[in-house]
Amino acid sequence: MKQMIRALKRYGKPVIAFSGSVTEDAFRCNGKGIDAFFPILRSVVTLEEAMGPENARRNMADTAEQVFRLWKISHEG
């Protein structure tokens, strides 16, 4: 992971991370080279529900779409 972050930074690329959920101390990721992080869970669910292939796929796709929308509007002009 560190090598990937270093490579992205070397080329001036942002580092975006997705996770199931985040804790209060997740901001520490920003100090380790991650520019922004996004949890993909939209509600409280069991681990089994969160890891179900269809739920995981849908949650990731929905969150990635929102991140892309943010990126898109920030680059319009």
Q: Where are the domains of the chain?
A: 2-74
Cα–Cα distance measured from residue 45 to residue 55, given in angstroms and rounded to the nearest whole number: 10
Whole-angstrom distance, CA of residue 20 vs CA of residue 76: 29
pLDDT tens digits along 22-76:
999 999 999 999 999 999 999 999 999 999 999 999 999 999 999 999 999 998 8
On the 0-12 / 13-18 / 19+ scale of CB atoms within 10 A, 53 is exposed
Residues 6+ apart with CB under 8 A from 62: 40, 42
| Beta pairing partners, 18 | 38
pLDDT band at 1, cuts 50/70/90? confident
